[in-house]
Structure 1
């Protein structure tokens, strides 16, 4: 059941990240083409740059969990692989526990900041939407990253073993 839920979450994250990347790229292409071929109309497309920045923030923070899960974060695997198996388990536990605590802290900070933005009524200048759509990416991304650390802690996932076998999932 949990593995199925994680498969659905991974698929959702990948699809959203892919859509954001395509939309962001298309927006920039259109924006550049308008500026080159119809500069008098460029004011009508100024919102695309800000929309792309919003998408970039979501793309980065949604990608955190997938990046960790795949073992693509910066790691000292050469040193880790030379450690005895018992030490590796302790090091993996410490890394995951500290990572989970850090994610919990940043989720709380991000949530508090997003709540502040909502209460202040800040809106983006060109999109005229609440700035919370930008700042909400931080707590959402760190919840998803923290979930990966938690799954490692309880033994459901093991990115270290996957990296040792050279596998991807």
Structure 2
């Protein structure tokens, strides 16, 4: 089981890293080219703002899955921190299970929305790209976050340590690092 989880984690991490890095670099190049065109040639790139909006959607949803993987998602720990290990473990399992189900449900709803966009054949205003192609990153990001929470659930059910993700154990978090 651990081998399968490791493979899934490895593949999804590569996807997350490449999509987020590519999107951020492409946003920077697009914004720089647009600024140079606007200030030096008095001509903006007509699709620059729309392209950046699409790239921000990618960074947001795939970046969320990456944050879950690294244990950097938002956690409310005021009560949790004073509990004993067993109570923390139970809460961690419940949180991972409920959040995984929620992420998969949201991915399902987002997938249906993407299908509706495809059905009505909506195009983006400037680039004239079918919008469903761009927004298909939303159910993908939500599903990848759901996978990370599911892996966390499995790790918590099969190990005595408390896992925030496949690779992050709660006791390994440095509180002086900015914390979670």
Same fold flag (TM > 0.5):
yes
Name the counterpart of 1:67.
Answer: 67
Aligned counterparts, 1:10-159, within 5 A: 10-39=13-42, 41-42=43-44, 45-155=45-155, 158-159=163-164
Name the counterpart of 2:7.
Answer: 4
Aligned length: 164
Name the counterpart of 2:171.
Answer: 164
Aligned partners of 1:69 and 1:12: how far apart in 2? 12
Q: CA deviation at 1:118?
A: 0.2
Aligned partners of 2:141 and 2:87: how far apart in 1? 30
Aligned partners of 1:163 and 1:93: how far apart in 2? 13
Aligned partners of 1:163 and 1:22: how far apart in 2? 32
Output the aligned Cα RMSD.
1.9
Q: CA deviation at 1:15?
A: 2.1
Contact 2:61 2:138 in 1 (8 A): yes
Contact 1:54 1:133 in 2 (8 A): no
Deviation by residue 1:111-165 (Cα, 9 ceiling, x = unmatched): 1100000000100011111001232121111100000111111127922762321
Contact 1:114 1:135 in 2 (8 A): yes
Contact 2:12 2:144 in 1 (8 A): no
Instruction: Give the SS at the match of 1:155.
Output: helix
Q: Gaps spanning 5+ residues in structure 1: where?
A: none
Aligned partners of 2:8 and 2:95: how far apart in 1? 24
Q: CA deviation at 1:78?
A: 4.7
| Richer in helix (by share) | 1
Q: Which 4+ runs in 1 deviate beyond 6 A? A: none
Q: Gaps spanning 5+ residues in structure 2: where?
A: 157-161, 175-180
Q: CA deviation at 1:101?
A: 1.6
Contact 1:103 1:145 in 2 (8 A): yes
Task: Give the TM-score of the pair, scaled to structure 1.
Answer: 0.88
Contact 1:96 1:153 in 2 (8 A): yes
